[in-house]
Each structure stands twice: as structure tokens, then as C-alpha cells.
Homo-oligomer: A and B are copies of this chain.
Amino acid sequence: MDQLIQFYNQNDLLIWLLIFTIILGFEVISKVPSVLHTPLMSGANAISGIVIIGAIVLIRQAAPDDYVTLGIGTLGIVLGMTNVVGGFAVTNRMLEMFKKKK
């Protein structure tokens, strides 16, 4: 319990921020027409590629001869980048049908 309280006291702003972010996440997605479910999922998926930043930080802090880290990190970047670029691109293609008429 004490640990929890301590943790809260140290991180109270972060916790509020997280909770507000979650509420935002809920709020942002409301009343979506079902045709947009797939593009929305795809767009959200591309954003979840934000994990790539972890790989970037990892590599940037790795020793230049730490080939395990570098190799795995680079693989991570390849995967993450595919997710990000492919994700946004494919979403964009899906959304082409919504181009404004006239």
C-alpha cells in the first residue's frame, strides 16, 4: 500500500495524464460509421507503430560493436517502419473512395 501511495505521489501528474489519455482514446472513437471501422483500425495500427521509437533509442544508445543489440534493433526498425509506412499508406488507399465529389 505504502509503495502504491509513494508511487502515486511521485507520478500523480503522469497518472492523471494517462487516465485523461485513455478517456480521450475512448472519446475520439464514438459514432463511427461501420464503413470506417477498417480504415480506422488500420490508422490506429499505424500509430501503434510508435514502438519503433524504442528501437531507435535502443540503437542510438548501443555500443557500435554490440552487434546483437544493433542487429536486433535494426530488425526492430525494419519491422516497425513497415508497420508505420505500410499502415498509413494502406489506410490512405482505403480512404480513396471518400474523396470529395465535385
Contacts and interface: CB of A to CB of B under 8 A. Distances in A.
Interface of A: 13-14, 16-17, 20-21, 23-24, 27-28, 31
**How many copies of this kind of chain does the complex include?**
2
Contact of A24 (B13, B14, B20, B31): B20
Contacts of A28: 27
Given A13-B14, A27-B28, 11 more contacts: A13-B13, A13-B17, A16-B17, A17-B17, A20-B20, A20-B21, A20-B24, A23-B24, A24-B24, A27-B27, A31-B31
9 contacts: A13-B13, A13-B14, A16-B17, A17-B20, A20-B20, A20-B21, A20-B24, A23-B24, A24-B24
